[in-house]
Structure 1
Amino acid sequence: MSDCLVVGGGIIGLSVAYELSRRGLAVTLIEQGDWGGQASSAAAGMLAPLKEFASPGPMLDLGMESLHLYPEWAQELEERASGDVQLSLEGLVTVALNGQEREQLQAKHHWQKEAGHDVHWLECNELRDVEPLLSDQVVAGIYSPGEGHINNRLLLRSLVTACRVQGVTLLSGCVVSGIAVKSGRVVGVETTSGPIRADQTVIASGAWAGIMMQMLDVAIPVRPVRGQIAAVSSVGIPLRTVIFGTTGYITPKKDGKIVIGATEDESGFQREVTMAGLASILNGVMPYVPALHAAAFLEAWGGLRPATADGKPLLGPVPGWEGLSLAGGHFRNGILLSPITAKRIADYIESGRTDKIEPFLPSRFLS
């Protein structure tokens, strides 16, 4: 019997399992498919809370705190797993192509600057000093030097290895068929690999979290949103920085790829890449960097992001079910929020306190 059972082997589940194990707990992590096969793979590895969140509040605060954890966290994972995760915090630009977009970005820059964040307003010529390959259509933008990205595939691989090194019991291809309850307390799960028991169970199953909660007749509003994404070769296209616009983003990676994306479409649990989705991705980024017209196409893929009804993740205990917690609903911010989610969930399991996760408690949907 483990101290903790984590259900779901994406970026969030792996991070939670790793953190709990670091704190001396015996942890079992189970995954129905491949490690990181859903939302974690439908990502470009963006670490950009100032771009991602449109207003001040708990989501931006959580994102900024997680961003600040990343350098030390990534270094530790690299040491444990003996592999590079290609962390790059060298800045990114969010750009405008017309007057309306310019006004919207100026308003965002104003409140971010007022709040003390490290952001810089750049006119078109200044932007091209940062990224010479930007299109002549770009009129202005925001440069945020402290943000960046990570190679999410290498991060997932490192987390799996680090969990093994740390002593986490890893079970893939393990499908949950029921949640085990004894005297009103959750004591683990029933699976295709047999019963698994633990003092504490954390559901980190992404878009499937709502389905799992239905096993207890608990209604949690989590739904899958498909994200489609693509990669092209960087040969002959020496991009320096990440570029965000209203119709897409462009992320140069250290492995010779440029990751571009991404779509958001309601497709149920279908994760296939569609022609319409691929066309949307490719056409969406061309206005920002014309040189991409000549890029060699490499691959496209899709995954299911877990979206909640209010856009905030679900962190902490499930009311009425002792021994059961949720860590999910991160939508397209799972990579960014993985270190802080792991820390907050581990803090709760160790102390029972919920003050640091108050805005994200599952109870907000169950009152």
Structure 2
Amino acid sequence: MADFDLIILGGGIVGASAALAGVRKGARVAVVDAGLAGRATDAGAGIVSPVALDRGEQRPDWTSVITECVGYYRSLLAELDAVDPAGAGSATFEQVGELVVAGNNPHELAALDAVTERLSRPEGRRAHGVTKPVETVDGTDLRKYWPELRGDLRGIFIAEVGRVVGSRLHDRLMTAARRRAQAQSDSAGLEVIPGAGMLDAQHPVPRVRVGHRVIEGRAVLLATGAWAGADLAGFGVQVDIRPIRGQLVHLRLDGQQTGMRPVVNTPGAGYLLGFDDRIVVGATHEDVGFDARVTAGGQQSVLNAALNLAPGLSGATVLETRVGLRPATSDGLPLVGAVAPAIHVATGLGAWGLTLGPLLGDLAARHALGDQMPARLDFLSPGRPLMKESA
């Protein structure tokens, strides 16, 4: 008998969500986590929004997945709060709403108008799971939310948007997985194994080597983000996935309460997230390979965008900088499903990691353990044209 029912390579948001899903099903789960520098979850402070600003919503199937993933947060947070009541509160997630703003840039204004028009129609709001009509705001009204914003911006307010701390959500997912495993000790189990896992593609039973230890599983789920391409290469499959570096800056406005401020987002560059003890501004989109350094140029780019958007932040204290490597595919859509018998993958979430990761990690784990993958996710299959057999 295999050591585990499911071995998960990668311990970020996707891997932690998959671990919780596996334990829920009564499985024996191992999470192998190398703790690599640049893991997107560790850097992430993200927006959880059902409304994309950069795709024109030309794919109803993609819009539907985003909406479903945002809706999943409700049930997931209720579960986490029940299992781990001490961890409840805004430190993990808070629905604060979102200001989508634009200045005098024609492209940004056109994108803002497109979002506004889409959400002005009842059918458009239903497609995104948005129940309240959006509110148009500009100038003085915008600065009621964020006094630091410049005066010539106009935008809309979307109520059903939240913000989340990636590392905090990850910790709560793993806490819930451990406690559920303990409560189901007769069947489920969870072991976290630190180190880089090497998948043996030749063995008939999936086998992973971690240092001097070798473990076998009925199924393996690759949730290693931008590193998944190297893992899959052992199966003779080339996946078009690459790391995109995102640098962020954390600021503090001394004496200011910023925890319940709405997210500020733009169709172009730059966003602002308010937390109880800081403001997060970001982020760069750099195609520089597996280079997880914080750079002077990257920080300048982030701060320039932030101060152009909100000049009043110029006196804020710089607390820290962070960097994460987002896994990106050529068509901008995730890869979720089987790549070989008993070998599954869930990656390619790009900048949507914190929005999509909890539900897609859950579905990928359940699929690896024998459940049917919903047909509505067929367009995310790793077998779509961007994946091809290597020569």
Same fold per TM (> 0.5)? yes
Match runs of 1:321-340 below 5 Å: 321-340=340-359
Measured in 2, the distance between the counterparts of 1:224 and 1:213 equals: 15
Tell me by how many angstroms 1:99 deviates: 5.5
- Alpha-carbon offset, residue 161 of structure 1: 1.9
Partners of 1:229 and 1:127 lie apart in 2 by 27
Aligned match of 1:190 in 209, 216, 224? 209
Structure 1 runs not aligned, ≥5 long:
none
**Corresponding residue number in structure 2 for 1:93:** 99
Runs of 5+ consecutive residues of structure 2 not aligned to the other structure: 182-188
Residue 136 of structure 1 and its aligned partner are, at CA, apart by 4.0
Matches within 5 A, 1:337-348: 337-348=356-367
Q: Are 1:17 and 2:25 matched, yes or no?
A: no
Distance in 1 (alpha carbons) for counterparts of 2:284 and 2:237: 30
TM-score (norm. length: structure 1): 0.91
CA RMSD of aligned residues (A): 2.2
What number of residue pairs does the alignment pair up? 361
**Percent of residue pairs identical:** 27
1:267 is matched by which residue type in structure 2? V
Write out aligned runs for 1:291-310 (5 A).
Answer: 291-310=312-331
**Could you tell me whether the CA contact under 8 Å between 1:102 and 1:141 is conserved in 2?**
no
Mean CA deviation greater in 56-65 or 243-252 = 56-65
Give the 3 Å change call, closer, same or farther, for CA 129–284 of structure 1 in structure 2: closer
How far apart are the structure 1 equivalents of 2:162 and 2:378? 28
Distance change (3 Å), C-alpha of 1:303 and 1:344: same
The answer to whether the 8 A contact 2:249-2:321 is kept is yes
**Cα separation, partners in 2 of 1:244 and 1:159, compared to 1, 3 Å:** same
Distance 1:144 1:347 in 2: 33
Q: TM-score scaled to structure 2, two decimals?
A: 0.86
Task: Map 1:129-148 onto structure 2 (within 5 A).
Answer: 131-148=145-162
Select which of 164, 177, 180 maps to 2:178: 164
Q: Deviations over 1:32-79 (max 9, x none)?
A: 126x96011232221023145523223222111111111221232233
The worse-fitting range, judged by mean Cα deviation, of 245-254 and 9-18 is 245-254
For 2:380, give the aligned amino acid.
Answer: F
What SS does the corresponding residue of 2:56 show, helix, strand or coil?
A: coil
Counterpart secondary structure, 2:43: coil
Match for residue 351 of structure 1?
Answer: 371
Aligned with residue 211 of structure 1, among 227, 230, 246: 230
Residues 89 and 147 in structure 1, CA contact (< 8 A), matched pair in contact too = yes
Mapped partners of 2:111, 2:355: distance in 1:
24
Q: Which amino acid aligns with 1:266?
A: D
Distance 2:146 2:16 in 1: 38
Amino acid of the residue matched to residue 18 of structure 1? L
Could you tell me how far apart the structure 2 residues matched to 1:299 and 1:131 are?
24
Tell whether the 8 Å contact from 1:137 to 1:288 is kept in structure 2 after alignment: no
Cα-to-partner distance string for 1:5-56 (whole Å, 9 max, x where unaligned): 111011111111111111211111111126x960112322210231455232
Residues 128, 134 of structure 1: 8 Å contact kept: no
Change in CA separation of 1:236 and 1:230 when aligned onto 2, cut-off 3 Å? same
Q: What is the identity, as a one-letter code, of the residue corresponding to 1:40?
A: T
Cα distance between partner residues in 1 of 2:227 and 2:18: 17
Shift >4 Å, 4+ stretches:
none
Q: Is the 8 A contact 1:315 1:345 kept in 2?
A: yes
Q: Give the counterpart letter for 2:100 in structure 1.
A: T
Deviation at residue 175 of structure 1 after TM alignment:
1.3
Distance across 1 between alignment mates of 2:11 and 2:218: 19
Which residue type is aligned with residue 109 of structure 2?
A: R
CA-to-partner distance for each residue in 1:216-272, whole Å, 9 max, x for gaps? 211111111111111011323444221112221110012x11111111101211111
> Structure 1 residues 189 and 293 mapped into 2: Cα distance closer, same or farther (>3 Å)?
same
Does structure 1 residue 76 correspond to structure 2 residue 87?
A: no
CA distance in 1, matches of 2:227, 2:63: 25
1:197 aligned partner, one-letter code: E
Distance 2:27 2:323 in 1: 34
**1:251 aligned residue:** 273
| Map of 2:199 onto structure 1 | 178
Q: After superposition, where does 1:255-294 map in structure 2 within 5 Å?
A: 256-294=277-315
Q: Mean alpha-carbon deviation: is it higher for 300-309 or for 132-141?
A: 132-141
Q: Against the structure 1 CA distance between its residues 237 and 54, is the aligned structure 2 distance closer, same or farther, given a 3 Å change threshold?
A: farther
Instruction: Output the CA distance in 1 between the equivalents of 2:51 and 2:237.
Output: 34
Q: What SS does structure 2 have at the residue aligned with 1:351?
A: coil
Alignment correspondent of 1:60: 63
**Contact in 2 for aligned 1:306/1:329 (Cα 8 Å):** yes
Matched letter for residue 6 of structure 2: C
Which shows bigger deviation, 93-102 or 161-170?
161-170
1:137–1:287 contact (8 Å) kept in structure 2: no
Q: 1:148 Cα deviation (Å)?
A: 1.3
Question: What residue is the counterpart of 1:116 in the other structure?
Answer: 124
Aligned equivalents of 1:150, 1:242: Cα separation in 2:
11
**C-alpha spacing 1:132/1:299, structure 2 compared with 1 (3 Å):** closer
Of 101, 111, 121, which residue of structure 2 is paired with 1:104? 111
